[in-house]
Amino acid sequence: MRNQADFWKQGLVYGSLVALSIIFLLPFLWLVSTSFKTDKQILVYPPVWIPHPFQWKNYANGLTAVPFGLYLRNTLLICAANVVGTVLSSSLVAYGLSRIPWRGREVLFYLFIGTMLLPPQVTMVPVFTIFKNLGWLDTYLPLTFPSFLASAFNVFLLRQFFRTIPNELTEAARIDGASEWDNYRLIVLPLAKPALWTIGLFAFIGAWNDYLGPLIYLFDDRKYTLSLGLAMFKTQYSAEWGQMMAVSTVVTLPLIILFFFTQRTFVRGITMTGLKG
C-alpha cells in the first residue's frame, strides 16, 4: 500500500510539473508557430496552431531584411566582454571578501550588498553623464566596462560558494609558500567552476537581452545589437508579423539551447551557493 501511495504521489507531482511546463511553453510555441504562418493565418479567429502551408520564406526574408549577421557579431562581442569581465572581477572581489581575513571586511560586504537596493533607474542619468564626459558615447565601453567593476549580486553568489571550500586547502598551500594569488588561481577557481559558470551564464543572458543599454549609448546603426535590430525591424516592418516572429525565434533559440546544455551546472552552482552562511 505504501509503494502504491508513493507511486500516486510521484505521479501527481510529475503531472503537475508537466502541466506547468506546458503552460510556460505556450508563448514560445505560439511564437514558433506564428513564424511559419501567412498573414491571413496569423489574424484568423479562432487561432491556428499548426500552419498550413509552412511559410519557410519568413525566415529567409526576415533575416535578410536587416543585417542580422552584423548585429549578431556585435552582440556576441558585447556578451563575450561581459562574461570575461563579470567572472574575473566578481571572483577577485568575492575571494577578498571570503578567503582573506581583514578588519572591516563584513561591514564593507554589507555596504556592497546594500547597493542592490538602488534600482538602475535611479543611477541611469548620473552614469550616462559620466560616460558622456569620458567620451564613451556611441562605443561599446558603456556596455562592457561596468562588468569589470564587479556586481553585488555576483559577488554575493561567489562569496557564498567560496566559503564552502575548506580553509585547510588554502592554509596548507600558504604553509608551502603559496601566495594569495596562487590560492585564488590554482585552488579556489578550479573548485568554483559551477558558480563561475552560473554568473557567466547570467552575464551572457543579460548582455544578450539588453535593450535599454544599446538604445541609450549606441547611435550608429552599424553598431546595433540584436535587440535593437529586432526593435528596428518592428518599426520598419510592423505589418510583416510572420517575418518578425521568425527573427524573434532565431534570437530566442540560442538562449534556450545554451541553458539546455548548461542547466546541470547552472542548478548546481545556484544550490551550492547557499550551503554555508
**pLDDT category of residue 84 using cuts at 50, 70 and 90:** very high
**pLDDT category of residue 165 using cuts at 50, 70 and 90:** confident
Whether residue 90 has pLDDT greater than 90: yes
User: Which residue would you say has higher pLDDT here, 272 or 146?
Assistant: 146
Mean pLDDT across the chain = 84
Which region among 29-33, 44-48, 189-193, 242-246 has the lowest average model confidence (pLDDT)? 44-48
pLDDT of residue 85: 95
- pLDDT tens for 203-225 read 999 999 999 999 999 998 889 99
Here the cell at position 75 is 552582440
- pLDDT tens for 247-260 read 888 888 888 888 77
Q: Distance between CA 13 and CA 71 in Å, rounded?
A: 43
pLDDT of residue 273: 53
Domains in the chain with CATH codes: 64-272 (1.10.3720.10)
- pLDDT tens for 192-206 read 888 898 899 889 999
